C-alpha cells in the first residue's frame, strides 16, 4: 500500500482540521457529513476528495483503508460500529464513547475484524507531554507524585450532547494515566452547572498506587483559554503549557526551559494512524486506553452526583 485511503466522517469545527492534515499527509480520500452543504464546502478546498451525506454510502462505495469519526460524542459508537463492521481501520474522536460498555463493544468488534481502533487523545502527541513523559521515564527529576491540570475556556456553544467531563477533562484523564503509566484505583469529583445543560465545571481527583495523585480542574466559565499542567516530582517540578508546548523545570539549583520546535499535535496524531495502517507503527493510543479514560470519566460523573469516592479495579498497563 502506498498512500492509504482515509475518509473523514463529520467535518464540523474539528473534523475540518482532520481533513486538512490528512490531505497534507496524502491520505485524504473522501468526506462525509449529513450536512452535505458543509461537506461540499470543505471538499472544495481539496481537489479529488469525494463527498457523501451518509455513512452507509461512504463505506459501501469507497474502498477505504481508514476512517475518522469526528461527529458529536453521542453518535460515535453507532457510526464507529458500522465502520468497524466493514473491516475498516477506525479512528474515533475523543471520547471513544461516553459509555464504557459501548467502548468495550467497539473494542471487541475491532479485535474480531482485526482492524485498528484508536481515539483522538491528541495531547499524547503534544511535545510538552512527550518531553515530560521522557523525563519521568528517565527519572531525571525523581518520581512524579502529584500532577495538576488546568483546562479552561469559554463554553463551546455547539456542544450540546455532553458536559465538560466527557468533552474536556478526558484529555487530562488520559494525560494523567499516560504520565503516571498506570490506572487510578479511586476517583473523587465535584462538578456543577452554571450555564450549560450538562456540567460546565469540574474538579476531579484521581488516586493512584504509591500515594500518587492527579488533580484535574476544568471549566467552561472563564473567558480565557488556559491549558496547563504541573508535575511535582521528588527532585523537581515540571510545568507545561499545552498551548505554547513549553515546559519549565524547577529544581534545587536552577530553572530550565528546554528549547525545541513547535509541532502540530494533530499532524503527529494522524501520521501515527496512517503509519499504523501501513504497518510501520503501533497506535500510541490503544482502544483499551480510550476505554479506561471513559471508565474514569463515568466514575467522575457518578462521584460528583453521589458525593462519594468511586473505587475502580482496572487492569494496570
Ligand X SMILES: NC(=O)c1ccc[n+]([C@@H]2O[C@H](COP(=O)([O-])OP(=O)(O)OC[C@H]3O[C@@H](n4cnc5c(N)ncnc54)[C@H](O)[C@@H]3O)[C@@H](O)[C@H]2O)c1
**272: nearest Cα among 79, 16, 73, 91:** 91
- Find the shortest distance in angstroms from Cβ 144 to ligand X: 24
Judging by beta carbons within 10 Å of its beta carbon (0-12, 13-18, 19+), is residue 211 exposed, middle or buried?
A: exposed
**79 is a contact residue toward ligand X (CB under 6 A):** yes
> By C-beta, is 14 or 46 nearer to ligand X?
14
> By C-beta, is 166 or 188 nearer to ligand X?
166
- Find the shortest distance in angstroms from Cβ 125 to ligand X: 10
Binding span for ligand X by CB under 6 A among 7-15, 43-51, 106-114, 211-219: 7-15
> By C-beta, is 8 or 214 nearer to ligand X?
8
Q: Which of 23, 34, 207, 278 binds ligand X (CB under 6 A)?
A: 34
**20 is a contact residue toward ligand X (CB under 6 A):** no
**55 is a contact residue toward ligand X (CB under 6 A):** yes
Binding span for ligand X by CB under 6 A among 72-80, 131-139, 211-219, 237-245: 72-80
Contact between 109 and 77 (Cβ < 8 Å): no
Binders of ligand X in range 86-105 (CB under 6 A): 93-94
Is the sign of the CA dihedral 221, 201, 69, 285 positive or negative?
Answer: positive
- Find the shortest distance in angstroms from Cβ 52 to ligand X: 8
**285 is a contact residue toward ligand X (CB under 6 A):** no
- Find the shortest distance in angstroms from Cβ 315 to ligand X: 25
**232: nearest Cα among 135, 103, 119:** 135
**27: nearest Cα among 55, 60, 67:** 67
Q: Which of 46, 72, 148, 217 binds ligand X (CB under 6 A)?
A: 72
> By C-beta, is 34 or 105 nearer to ligand X?
34
Binders of ligand X in range 138-197 (CB under 6 A): 158, 167
Q: What residue number has its CB nearest to ligand X?
A: 12
For binding to ligand X (CB under 6 A), which residues are involved? Answer: 9-15, 32-35, 38, 55, 70-73, 75, 79, 93-94, 120, 122, 158, 167
Amino acid at each position: 500500500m502506498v498512500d492509504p485511503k482515509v475518509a473523514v466522517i463529520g467535518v464540523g469545527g474539528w473534523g475540518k482540521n482532520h481533513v486538512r492534515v490528512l490531505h497534507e499527509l496524502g491520505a485524504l480520500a473522501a468526506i462525509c457529513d449529513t450536512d452535505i452543504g458543509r461537506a461540499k464546502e470543505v471538499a472544495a478546498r481539496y481537489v479529488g476528495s469525494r463527498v457523501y451525506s451518509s455513512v452507509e454510502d461512504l463505506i459501501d462505495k469507497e474502498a477505504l483503508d481508514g476512517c475518522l469519526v469526528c461527529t458529536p460524542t453521542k453518535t460515535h459508537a453507532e457510526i464507529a460500529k458500522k465502520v468497524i463492521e466493514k473491516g475498516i481501520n477506525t479512528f474515533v474522536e475523543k471520547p471513544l464513547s461516553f459509555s464504557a460498555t459501548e467502548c468495550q463493544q467497539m473494542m471487541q468488534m475491532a479485535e474480531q475484524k482485526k482492524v485498528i481502533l484508536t481515539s483522538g487523545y491528541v495531547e499524547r502527541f503534544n511535545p510538552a507531554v512527550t518531553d515530560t513523559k521522557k523525563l519521568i521515564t528517565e527519572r531525571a527529576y525523581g518520581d512524579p507524585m502529584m500532577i495538576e491540570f488546568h483546562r479552561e475556556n469559554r463554553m463551546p456553544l455547539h456542544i450540546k450532547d455532553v458536559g465538560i467531563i466527557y468533552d474536556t477533562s478526558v484529555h487530562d484523564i488520559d494525560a494523567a494515566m499516560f504520565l503516571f503509566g498506570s490506572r487510578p484505583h479511586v476517583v473523587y469529583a465535584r462538578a456543577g452547572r452554571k450555564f450549560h445543560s450538562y456540567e460546565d465545571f469540574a474538579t476531579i481527583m484521581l488516586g493512584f498506587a504509591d500515594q500518587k495523585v492527579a488533580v484535574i480542574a476544568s471549566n467552561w466559565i472563564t473567558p480565557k483559554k488556559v491549558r496547563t499542567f504541573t508535575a511535582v516530582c521528588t527532585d523537581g517540578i515540571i510545568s507545561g503549557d499545552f498551548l505554547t508546548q513549553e515546559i519549565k523545570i524547577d529544581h534545587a539549583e536552577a530553572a530550565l526551559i528546554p528549547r525545541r520546535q513547535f509541532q502540530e499535535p494533530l499532524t503527529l496524531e494522524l501520521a501515527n494512524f496512517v503509519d499504523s495502517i501501513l504497518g510501520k507503527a503501533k497506535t500510541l493510543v490503544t482502544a483499551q486506553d480510550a476505554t479506561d479514560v471513559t471508565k474514569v470519566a463515568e466514575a467522575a460523573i457518578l462521584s460528583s452526583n453521589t458525593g462519594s469516592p468511586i473505587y475502580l479495579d482496572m487492569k494496570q498497563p
